[in-house]
Structure 1
């Protein structure tokens, strides 16, 4: 049996038919699916390009193919291309396919409405929370309140009607988007052995300049890099010597760069752009002293887990799955630049606290080792296959 999986991730395709990714969802990601299914068909946005950088990784290959949804970024581009998107998704699912929709996702919503009409069963992997994605401060779109209502209720309906649900959190997403059928929480973050540091970071008493690092998309502001830049400015005004590395790319980069310049932080904030996953990002994490992710919304943030695996002290906000990762004293309310500045100051001026955070985070990250999550994922995929086969027999 084949399985169709929807993704919101964006890919590039070269003339030789290969599909590429700079960060996640490489070909190896799908091996767990292929333990249960004969073939994986990925439905996602794919852009045709003449070539790709040398450090990109192939996403398709043996057992994995793509249905290319017309490429768009943001709600306005989606509206312009929605007829083509809907036309493509209409033929994505075969009569005998199993279906797993990663939500929230506009592509998933297009397919789910067709499945619901035909009674074709589907499962969901709940990876984000639209209620927080469209929260005040997370974005400035004029239709933000309407989108928040629409997409939150749509995701609740999708989970209610799903035959099974896998959540990336242990309880946060389950509470808002319950599934009455088979469900469980298992992170989609899987750490290989080389991603984990061997020891926590040593106690450091002598540093004068502290390097903060943020890793996340700049396509929207729901990970709050703007709030972090404001917090850094407050700390610098109070005499704390900080530098900030921002890893990520997107349409808001130009305004964030202007924000840093306007606050007198031109020489303190370094925009590294989008970096290839793996060693390149780890090298940036290893050079930093504190990882900061003051998001307005999260599922379970992959970037934070990867930072914890490098034994980095981490500061986050009290949203989504972050409270499942960090101690309460290492979090702040979303959107509070003053509170974030105070938390940063508390951490970097207390070497003993940083050493304890490092040790705790490294230990916590070990819960996300690939081999510990493997069997849970396999059980979920087997259930999806068995229930789809049962439905087919009844037709």
Structure 2
């Protein structure tokens, strides 16, 4: 029997009846890749807490997953400092199993070093760059450590999956492939553009925070001179209360800013279907799912010039984060031409098609089938 030990840093909930509840991100569709490749059992290794109720709002049940690690090592990160945890993990990995490490993550830093030192079979799913930690306390130290471990350990992995080419270039593994965790089930058609009610609708999805660059959008729009009215939708939780307060107090000519907070997926899709331009202004990101979601609805996309977005967003529609006025110039140019918007819409559909679930599922199946053969 071949087993997968899938590690992550999410907090899963265990109910009294033994159900495993996920807050999202890692769901049954995500874990399906391992069953597709012929693995028989999945052990979930992550943080966990015990729930007093069987159903938790916002959580969904995981199916056909072994809760051994979740049940035995409940709580926060303390299991990472437990001798018995590493003993249990070592025994499993020596018995026809493969460890999947989500990297870079707090859990992943410990596990990749452990697997490397003891020459255990592991695969790395590289989801983002190590610089995602820079804004956090001691983030620069974590960035340096995760970057170093990536350079040392990922080349020695059984295989590695990357969400973007620049991550493969940074931490290369010979048995590596590029396939995003984003999967699209439905792809719309290219849009026709005409200001509705005399206004254009612009949308961004992401927490109101410095990392997501919401302040960049607000700064550029505050100085935007445009003939049509603009409705600017910001969808996501509030991380920076000061920035949210500033947005609430802003009064920009011809621009109405609407902060929606957290919305359900179908509500987000509904807004995207009425959106004329999507903006991703992140300062740090791998490949944002929201960009591909917007593209799948035929929405033109303007983004910051992050490495993870190269090849996804046309270079002429990527603005420089450190250059004031760069975003404003592109937005003005794009919204002034229905021809440009139409061409961008066609490009969005083309890019999104490469993320259709049938295509990504096949690539993951081939990758993990190959890894399974290698460890056997």
TM class, shorter-chain normalised? 0.7 to 0.9
Cα 1:41–1:244, aligned 2, differ >3 Å: closer, same or farther? farther
Are 2:206 and 1:212 aligned?
A: no
Query: Which residue in the other structure is 2:246 paired with?
Result: 259
Q: Take 2:352 and 2:8, find their aligned partners in 1: how far apart are those partners?
A: 25
Query: Which residue in the other structure is 2:28 paired with?
Result: 27
Q: Take 1:334 and 1:14, find their aligned partners in 2: how far apart are those partners?
A: 45
Query: Which residue in the other structure is 1:293 paired with?
Result: 280
Query: Which residue in the other structure is 2:128 paired with?
Result: 128
Are 2:223 and 1:234 aligned?
A: yes
Per the TM alignment, residue 98 of structure 1 is displaced from its structure 2 partner at its CA by: 0.7
Q: Take 1:285 and 1:350, find their aligned partners in 2: how far apart are those partners?
A: 19
Of 38, 41, 50, the match for 2:40: 38
Cα 1:102–1:144, aligned 2, differ >3 Å: closer, same or farther? closer
Per the TM alignment, residue 178 of structure 1 is displaced from its structure 2 partner at its CA by: 1.3
Cα 1:190–1:332, aligned 2, differ >3 Å: closer, same or farther? same
Could you list the per-position Cα deviations for residues 173-201 of structure 1 after superposition, in whole angstroms to 9, with x for gaps in the alignment?
1111112x311212222211xx211x211
Q: Take 1:153 and 1:12, find their aligned partners in 2: how far apart are those partners?
A: 33
Query: Which residue in the other structure is 2:211 paired with?
Result: 222
Could you list the per-position Cα deviations for residues 339-373 of structure 1 after superposition, in whole angstroms to 9, with x for gaps in the alignment?
11222222222222111111110122111111122
What is the SS of the residue equivalent to 1:230?
Answer: helix
Matches within 5 A, 1:116-195: 116-131=116-131, 133-134=132-133, 139=135, 141=136, 143-169=138-164, 171-179=165-173, 181-192=174-185, 195=186
Query: Which residue in the other structure is 1:370 paired with?
Result: 357
Q: Take 1:59 and 1:337, find their aligned partners in 2: how far apart are those partners?
A: 46
Query: Which residue in the other structure is 2:372 paired with?
Result: 385
Cα 1:355–1:25, aligned 2, differ >3 Å: closer, same or farther? same
Per the TM alignment, residue 19 of structure 1 is displaced from its structure 2 partner at its CA by: 3.6
Answer whether contact 2:113 2:149 (CA < 8 A) is retained.
no
The unaligned stretches of length 5 or more in structure 2 are: none
Cα 1:129–1:157, aligned 2, differ >3 Å: closer, same or farther? same
Answer whether contact 1:14 1:52 (CA < 8 A) is retained.
no
Task: Return 303-312 or 284-293, whichever deviates more.
Answer: 284-293
Q: Take 1:45 and 1:121, find their aligned partners in 2: how far apart are those partners?
A: 22
Query: Which residue in the other structure is 2:103 paired with?
Result: 103
Query: Which residue in the other structure is 1:249 paired with?
Result: 237
Answer whether contact 1:227 1:336 (CA < 8 A) is retained.
no
Q: Take 2:228 and 2:322, find their aligned partners in 1: how far apart are those partners?
A: 21
Query: Which residue in the other structure is 2:289 paired with?
Result: 302
Answer whether contact 2:109 2:146 (CA < 8 A) is retained.
no
Are 2:362 and 1:358 aligned?
A: no
Cα 1:183–1:294, aligned 2, differ >3 Å: closer, same or farther? same
Paired positions, count: 364
Q: Take 2:324 and 2:22, find their aligned partners in 1: how far apart are those partners?
A: 33
The unaligned stretches of length 5 or more in structure 1 are: 72-80, 390-395
Are 2:340 and 1:338 aligned?
A: no
TM superposition score normalised by structure 1: 0.82
What is the SS of the residue equivalent to 1:378?
Answer: helix
Answer whether contact 1:222 1:297 (CA < 8 A) is retained.
yes
Per the TM alignment, residue 85 of structure 1 is displaced from its structure 2 partner at its CA by: 4.4
Answer whether contact 1:228 1:337 (CA < 8 A) is retained.
no
Answer whether contact 1:246 1:270 (CA < 8 A) is retained.
yes
Answer whether contact 1:22 1:276 (CA < 8 A) is retained.
no
TM superposition score normalised by structure 2: 0.86
